[in-house]
Structure 1
Amino acid sequence: MKEVFTIGYAGFKINEFIRVLKEYKINSLIDVRSNPISKFYEEYNQKNLEKLLSSTGMIYRNYRKEFGARQEDKKYYKNGYLDFNLYTQSNNFLEGIRKIEAGTKSNYTFVFMCAEKDPSTCHRNIMVAREFYKLGYDVKNIRSDGSYESQESMEKRLVERYFPNRNQLTLFSESISWQQMVKRSYDLRNSEIGYRIDEEAGVNWQVI
């Protein structure tokens, strides 16, 4: 089965970060930050990270255009925040998928990197990795202790968050399937974490 990883660098010191990538035999890192600079983790700034990964034989690429959470085109901000369902149908996003699929066939093992420790709070999973999961990829979300969480497990956590009383439905409650709960949970999370536009100031490229 095809596989793809995700990771949040905030949970790692840089040496441990590199060790974990090697442990999973990852050879290509896809940085999905729209602005690949960190105020608090300078070793993860684009130039520093790219140089370090290169020295260990890994490839670094920034896919802000394809997979970034902050897109400039306001048509993707349907409700004031980036609509993941809408943006994942864009030409840029689909081109990103095409490039990853081509790389996978050429024996590259990819990890999508952003900042947050928990994949359920980051667009690297809720927007990006979700689409690869739908394409049949085995998505492995690397935790800060070096273990990983499957996409199925992460989805169960989302449903537990948004449908905690799902087993207590009454005769008067609307019937909803598991898949509907999963989809609704992704949408609710999108509404919480989706990047929001200030209509007067435009897109705020905040460094995080």
Structure 2
Amino acid sequence: MKKTKPTIFSLGHSNVSIWVFTQKLKENKIKILVDVRTIPLSRFCPHFSQKPLQKTLASENILYLYRGRNLGGRGVNTEYEETIDEVVDMVKRGEKVCVLCSEKDYRKCHRYTLLTPSFEERGVTVFHIEYENENKTTKHSK
């Protein structure tokens, strides 16, 4: 029997409605959302700022974790590897985890350029959720 690799999901909120966003999470059975935005605020879409988002997710039984201080795309952080390992451990325990940033196109986001290689090095497949197209499982090429 072939064992499937652990999978983590990735999603950018962009300017979609909170309803569309939560539907995507529910379609993919996400139970933990890890916010990897350096600054968890949105002036243009306030429903994606940390407190309102956390409240909405709680009403959908999705746990919100902020890890942007360590996994954000700006600057070097000494706790980066440790925090990547924390997220990978959740995935390997069978949790349905999704990392969140604001950029809709994962190819233009640190979810792809920085986090995806780190997850893949640890044996985790990254599945990028998209709004218009089919979701994408990527293999990051260096």
Q: What is the TM-score of this pair, normalised by structure 2? A: 0.88
Q: Aligned ranges for residues 23-62 of structure 1 at < 5 Å? A: 23-62=27-66
Query: Is 1:63 aligned to 2:50, yes or no?
Result: no
Partner deviation per Cα, 1:28-68 (whole Å, 9 max, x = no partner): 00111111001111100000000110111100011122201
Q: Which structure shows the bigger proportion of residues in helix conformation?
A: 1
Equivalent residue number for residue 110 of structure 2: 123
Query: Is 1:16 aligned to 2:16, yes or no?
Result: no
Q: Aligned ranges for residues 51-200 of structure 1 at < 5 Å? A: 51-71=55-75, 76=76, 91-145=78-132, 147-152=134-139, 155=140, 182-183=141-142
Compute the displacement of 1:145 (Å).
2.0
Partner deviation per Cα, 1:172-206 (whole Å, 9 max, x = no partner): xxxxxxxxxx32xxxxxxxxxxxxxxxxxxxxxxx
Name the SS for the 1:113 alignment partner.
Answer: strand
Compute the displacement of 1:11 (Å).
5.3
Q: Aligned partners of 1:149, 1:107: CA distance in 2, in Å?
A: 20
Q: Aligned partners of 1:36, 1:98: CA distance in 2, in Å?
A: 21
CA RMSD of aligned residues (A): 1.6
Unaligned runs of 5+ in 2: none
Q: Aligned partners of 1:144, 1:116: CA distance in 2, in Å?
A: 12
Amino acid paired to 1:64: G
Q: Which runs of 4+ in 1 moved over 3 A?
A: none
Compute the displacement of 1:13 (Å).
1.5
Percent identity over the alignment is 29
Question: Does the 8 Å contact 1:20/1:146 carry over to 2?
Answer: no
Q: Aligned partners of 1:93, 1:14: CA distance in 2, in Å?
A: 29
Q: Which structure shows the bigger proportion of residues in strand conformation?
A: 2
Unaligned runs of 5+ in 1: 77-89, 156-181, 184-208
- Equivalenced residue count is 138
Amino acid paired to 2:54: E
